[in-house]
Amino acid sequence: MTAASGRPTDQPAPRVMHVVVAGDIGGAEKLLLDITSRPEQTRASHAVALMTPNPKLRALIRDTGVRLYDRGHSPLHPLAYLWRTFGPRDVAWLAQALRDEQADLVHVHTYASHILGVRAARLCGLPVLRTEHGLHHYTDPTCGLFRRKALRQTDMVVCVSDYVRRFVAQWDSTAATKLRVARNGVNERHFTPAPFPPDQPFTFSIACRLEPWKQVDRVVEAMAHLPDCHLVIAGDGSQRAALEARVKRLGIAERVRFLGYCPDPRSVLAMGHVSINSSREEPLGLSVLEALASGRPVIAFAGGGVPEIVQNRVTGWLVPPQSQSGLVAAMREASQSPALARVLGAQARTFVERSCRIDTMCHTYGLAYADLLQAHRRTRSRPSC
């Protein structure tokens, strides 16, 4: 029996093992939870092989009820990464987990899982799918060891945006045929439009990890030029202390609040009229999608994959890449036009409902699993030379 798409429907649901080696809880980890908690939409059975030093990440995955193969406390410093990636013990542990799960394919998510996942999959004769959440490992020299080999030994690469797909195809043209796009989806039933706060004081919100490439310092600097506006910042990271010190030096501490890490950003988004994403070359931006779904327009730099989801003066404001004056101008225009912000927020919500539903994302991954397994079965059925 065959579906209208041409894919067989009488095959049992594939057993997918997701490999996650990570310390933080970010977009990759959230996407993992979205996929593994929707077996009906992905038409697959899911399990997770986890290596992390972070008990919060472990608890977050365990609480979903997904089958969890836990390596225990796993440090992430460079020497530990090298031993885990190229040594014998962790690859043997992962290969055994694949056998115990009777996995049909391996889905790797984070850079630290790429080579390890490929090695274990090859030991078990399984195909590998990888989600390309970001591009940092392509530009960081410290990530260069076997980077190209791992990509070439991966059977399918799902990119979170067309920007990411184009980048990878240009970086290694031999990988172009294995690339496809599955834009991140957002749960529109969880992120619903929240009532706007009173027009005064006009408030901007940011929810992200406070790391250098997020460039939250640019937004803090812009606030010095907007004396009637407030800013709430949700998140933690290596830059928090420096950002708090800069806020004090600029004399804007009474207008900028640091909330720390917030596992659910909905309350943060509800505090603001407009959300800001100041990242440098954001691959797509899950926090952007969450803001749009919550009925909040977004101000963001027009780089990376952001222009695929933020349309200038339709769902937010796009700023010329890395333009500080452009950022100030967009924030000023938004603060002086609360009625326009409401209109753009409503249009942002409509865009998510039409183009970024989590159901669509999960269905796309389901098709990717089916296509990958079908190709793998064809390859195995060919007579050897």
Q: Please list the rounded mean pLDDT of every run of 10 residues in the chain (385 residues).
A: 48 93 86 94 97 94 95 92 93 98 96 95 97 91 87 96 97 96 93 91 95 96 98 96 98 97 92 96 92 98 96 97 97 96 97 94 96 91 46
Q: How far apart are alpha carbons 134 and 375 in whole angstroms?
A: 26
Is residue 202 within 8 Å of 338, Cβ to Cβ? yes
Q: How far apart are alpha carbons 132 and 7 in whole angstroms?
A: 25
Q: How far apart are alpha carbons 69 and 328 in whole angstroms?
A: 48
pLDDT given at position 26: 80
Domain 202-355: which CATH number of 3.90.1310.10, 3.40.50.2000, 3.10.129.10, 3.90.1200.10: 3.40.50.2000
pLDDT given at position 263: 84
Does this chain's domain 15-185+358-379 share its CATH topology with 202-355?
yes
The residues, ordered by sequence, that sit 6+ positions from 94 with a Cβ below 8 Å of its Cβ are 19, 49, 116, 117, 120
pLDDT given at position 158: 97
Give the orientation angle of helix 358-381 with respect to helix 27-36, to 10 degrees: 80
Q: How far apart are alpha carbons 318 and 299 in whole angstroms?
A: 6
Is residue 172 within 8 Å of 149, Cβ to Cβ? no
Is residue 132 within 8 Å of 28, Cβ to Cβ? no
pLDDT given at position 140: 87
Q: Which fold has domain 15-185+358-379?
A: Rossmann fold (3.40.50)
pLDDT given at position 28: 87
Residue ranges per structural domain of the chain: 15-185+358-379, 202-355
